[in-house]
Amino acid sequence: MLTRIDHIGIACFDLDKTIEFYRETYGFEVLHIEANEEQGLREAMLRINGTSDGGMSCLQLLESTREDSVVGKWLAKNGEGVHHIAFGTADVDGDADAIRDKGIRVLYDEPRIGSMGSRITFLHPKDCHGVLTELVTAAPSDRAGH
């Protein structure tokens, strides 16, 4: 069961400048930064608010570190902007299976490790009215910290 907006994923050309924009303009602070060599990404999580399921909602800023990365190709086509939205759930495996059974294409056979030790999968945007949609289960230690 999806119980929160976990984050909004925003692709940007320069992560440091974009972090600075969100800090200067709104006062949002960085919770976490990490690089994902495999995906050719560097990303920052900015915590915006806590949620009624005991989690939180964030902005996730995504910078491509390789032209041929998924986000790099997306940026070359679209420019900066909202890349995906993510819903939080306690059970990404069960929810992904249930959604697959409804005929929606789930992009990974099994959930993979996402940022901050979460487990994630994605739904095909063409099956979701144009919205690349992520499902996230936060890491246990991470959830406990909220």
With binding defined as CB under 8 A, does residue 73 bind a second copy? no
| Token pair belonging to 49 | 């608010």
Which secondary-structure segment (H or E) carries 7?
A: strand 2-12
Smallest CA-to-CA distance from 107 within 92, 88, 91, 90 is with: 92
Active site residue 60: yes
Residue 79 found at the interface with a second copy (CB under 8 A): yes
Give strand pairing partners of 119: 113, 137
Q: Which of 110, 117, 108, 109 lies closest to 137 in space, CA to CA?
A: 117
Q: Does 4 sit near a second copy (CB under 8 A)?
A: yes
Q: In the set 12, 41, 92, 120, which binds a second copy (CB under 8 A)?
A: 12
Indicate which residue of 84, 110, 124, 146 is catalytic. Answer: 84
Q: Where along the sequence are the contacts to a second copy (CB under 8 A)?
A: 1-5, 8, 10, 12, 18, 21, 24-28, 48-53, 57, 59, 79-82, 85, 87, 99, 102, 104, 125, 128-131
